Chains A and B, each alone.
Chain A
Amino acid sequence: MKKTPFCATSEQDQEIMFKVLGINNFDDLFEAIPDELKSETFNVPEGLSEMEMMQHIRQIASKNSTDLVNFCGAGFYDHYIPSAVDALSSRGEFYTAYTPYQPEASQGTLQAAFEYQTAICRLTDMEVANASLFDGGTAIFEAIMMALRQTRRKKVLVDEGVNPIYRKMLRCYMQNLSFEYEEVALSKDGIADRAAYIDILDDSVGAVVLQNPNFFGCLDNFTELVDSIHAVKALAIMSVYPIALSQIETPGSMGADIVTGEGQSLGLPLNFGGPYLGFMAVQKKLVRKMPGRIVGETVDAQGRRGYVLTLQAREQHIRREKATSNICSNVQLCALRAIIYLSLIGKEGFRDLGQQCMDRANYAWDKLTAIDGIEPVFDRPFFNEFAIRLPKSASDVISDLIPQGIVAGFPVGHYYENMEDVLLLSFTEMRTKEEIDILAVKIESVLKI
């Protein structure tokens, strides 16, 4: 018998169905299609049983390096994930449901999305959030498109403090569009260069993209810069690290028009790059230009409170080529994990979590900058990540320490010129004092070689 796992009909069932259809076999179902279209070869191995597949995948997975103490962040962080996040998000009622187009049969998904939108508004101090986008990078692209539509202008400025991976994505997405894309170099202090912005900002600019903390971990307060952006009637887009929002000044208070970010740190594993969670929040006046699904509160005929996808007239399945975005899906399951995570961590716990990250980074800063030959790249306040200059190549130092079980950080020279000796290190609540002590000792010892 041919093995067809997960197919539910038996051969007896199929015989009954063939009879109803007046056919003899499966091939008869396809008789209207010209034979010349049929594929001649199909070279796929025979199927594995579940047990065999698990043995196979475990064997492949074992080729990954685990048990490394990780100080590499660069926008993607290994925070602790409470067990209840997995337990709840792996309920089949959540993860095997479709997009909630039938609201009466989807109140669980819809209410969770509404709660998620609320939490994103509270983190960012913004008025409206959507129900999520793919990731932090596509979220910035969507924000730029939205801002240029709103301002009817052609030019976007992107700060070089924005994650260089996202800037590569933006250059890719902008290449076919008739917009002007320009990056603005950091000041020598490692933050957005005020003087440069004052020079460039004029009424051709529709949007400016800033990041806080920036790629080097430096904290900033953009309030005055945002005033300059608004003075030319452009929109300010801020990309943020949500765990940092436990402590740092909010984009809303700084006057941001659109906020985006990578929500991976809110209860999602690193998972080799995805699935992740793009979030977006805006001021209410921009909501009709915002891409992505949005959940709103309403009532039924009996006055009972319920939730629906709303403002759908913006979306591609209605607007087709006139839609606000071509991207029709969100990442609801990731957003669900984020709201479960934030509920478990809670108001006080979240502030505490941020403090723990900052304290660890401060402890490491003191240890590392005390080492002969190591200098801070920028002497700026930071949240949980900072860059140091080494007396040798950062890539070499990282390579030396990996066999000793440590991923010392990210070599900034991969993305920035004249920074081959710069190492970017991040510290989450997962890192212990002992691990940081060992890191400092080991770095010191490889610098001596």
Chain B
Amino acid sequence: MKLIYEKSSPGRFGVPVSSIKLSSPKEISKKYLRSTPAELPEVSETEVVRHFTDLSRLNFSIDTHFYPLGSCTMKYNPKACETAANLPELTGIHPLWPQLYGRGLLAQGSLGILYNMDRLLSEITGLDEFTLQPMSGAHGELTGVMMMAAYHKDRGNKKDHIIIPDSAHGTNPASARLVDYNVVTIPSDENGMMDFDLFKAALNDKTAGVMLTSPNTLGVFNVRIKEICDAVHEVDGLMYYDGANFNAIMGRYKPGDMGFDVCHLNLHKSFATPHGGGGPGAGPVGVGEKLRPYLPISRVIKTEDGSFALNYDEPKSIGYIAPFYGNFGIITRAYVYLLMLGREGILGTSDRAVLNANYLLEKLRPLFGDKKKGRCMHEFVFSGSFLKENGVNTLDLAKGMIDRGIHPPTVYFPLNVPEAIMIEPTETEDLDTLNNFVKVIEELVELSKINPEKLHQAPNTTPVGRLDEVKAARDMRLSFML
């Protein structure tokens, strides 16, 4: 498809701004002005609407396709959440207004949403208070680790490393590094959990804390979590809960009750806010009593008269991790989602996410030659190594799914499983969709035996076939050149 720049023609225009001239332009020295106008497209509004509508149709999305992307929790994004978050009374508020008048009188509605959301998330996680400021899961991790560092500094602890299992998301070690901690990686045991003995051997007085995802990226719940928490607290370390996979346990297990000191949640996963083709998300961070003094500022408080205000007076706070209060529009979507779910809905959501995953696990095990027994949580990982005997790999299988109208699962992650394929159906898919997925994989495995070449060539139904990524990295054509 042509680029919008290639559709440009001099003199065409879309939406004019205003024709009212208020004053004659003031003379400004040329050295402050650009010499030529910025080269933006010159296209009609019709063309813009057709162009971006056409582009949208080249995408797979939850609204159009089953999207069992492991560890990404691609559940349906309710339309009502969009309507609520787009109310003009919410979108039109300038973030600096609370600082101008009566500690927040101009934004009582917005501050109320933030306050209510903090209370809800605290109850759901068993922690004391949340900051809603982090703008993604990784940003939440960084915020959490910064608070851990502030805690240790405050207590005069000399800590130099963080322990992270090898099944963790890559963001965990990257976040720890941004706070100048070294990373000690612990391999998984044969059950997919962090190897307990190796963990114990690595733990010492210099351990700032442990970052754990449970269930982890293999879909395995770490049943020794209490022992781990106790051992870490013994050396005045802190337990970080990576809530990337929280969709499996909502309402049933609370990180705070299990012994975690700090946790982030991905609102764009468990709480149904849209992924937007790669953001914006939100990664609120909750803490227990130990870390509360270090939460970022500002904080929303409820005053005695029931109104909401912003508090900036927290001497131990790590400071400003965002310009304002976080991705308010995303927080609002997640807030109203939780209001609609309510108590039973939150519990029921995780139950059904785990049921759907286990159903697929059971149905697909024979196809992947997976001899394990046991259950998974919200997702599971298979190895596609068995395909190799027909000269096919996991990537071929994934691309074959595209031709059958299914977005491929996560592939080649986690790194500790060869030819990994990671499947997370979520609770918003019905039995027909799951059964169809099983049928498609059966067909593709069959195809890999009788005509592997066909899978090598997949996908065939998309606007482009497999793209030359080496060429992209070598040529570095990163913007349109005339």
Contacts and interface: CB of A to CB of B under 8 A. Distances in A.
B112 A326 contact: no
A188 interface: no
B290 interface: no
Contacts of B96: 72, 74, 76, 410
B112 to A, nearest CB: 5
Interface residues of B, number: 200
Interface string A50-62: 1001101110111
Q: How large is the interface on A (under 10, 10 to 19, 20 to 34, 35 or more residues)?
A: 35 or more
A265 interface: no
Interface stretch (A152-160, A229-237, A327-335, A369-377): A327-335
Interface in B111-153: 112-113, 120, 123-124, 126, 135-139, 141-142, 146, 149
A194 interface: no
Interface in B71-130: 72, 74-78, 80, 82-84, 86-97, 99-102, 105-110, 112-113, 120, 123-124, 126
A32 B375 contact: yes
A318 interface: yes
A421 B347 CA distance: 54
Given A102-B407, A169-B322, A300-B464, A326 B171 contact: yes
A340 B14 CA distance: 10
Contacts of B41: 342-343, 346-347
Contact of B139 (A134, A352, A360): A134
B478 A2 contact: no
A421 B90 CA distance: 31
A109 B59 contact: yes
A208 interface: no
B57 A108 contact: yes
Among B41, B139, B176, max chain A CB count under 10 A is at: B41
A304 B174 contact: no
A37 B33 contact: no
A253 to B, nearest CB: 7
Contacts of A398: 100-101
Interface in A168-212: 168-169, 171-173, 175-178
Interface in A2-56: 2-10, 13-14, 16-18, 20-21, 26, 29-30, 32-34, 36-40, 42-50, 53-54, 56
Interface stretch (B199-207, B230-238, B334-342, B442-450): B334-342
B263 interface: no
The interface residues of chain B, by DSSP majority, are classed as loop
A443 B89 CA distance: 26
A263 to B, nearest CB: 12
A20 B362 contact: yes
Given A247-B33, A249-B33, A333 B327 contact: no
B199 to A, nearest CB: 18
Contact of A121 (B34, B171, B479): B479
Contacts of A80: 17
Contacts of B323: 75, 135-137, 165-166, 169, 273-274, 276
A275 B280 contact: yes
B469 A310 contact: yes
A137 B227 CA distance: 40
A436 B61 CA distance: 46
Given A104-B459, A273-B95, 20 more contacts: A6-B341, A21-B362, A26-B354, A29-B355, A43-B123, A48-B342, A54-B80, A72-B97, A99-B275, A106-B59, A115-B4, A137-B320, A220-B32, A272-B90, A275-B327, A293-B278, A308-B472, A334-B279, A356-B17, A381-B28
17 contacts: A10-B430, A30-B252, A42-B124, A57-B87, A61-B89, A72-B94, A95-B276, A99-B279, A169-B322, A172-B319, A273-B323, A273-B327, A274-B329, A319-B170, A333-B279, A342-B41, A360-B22
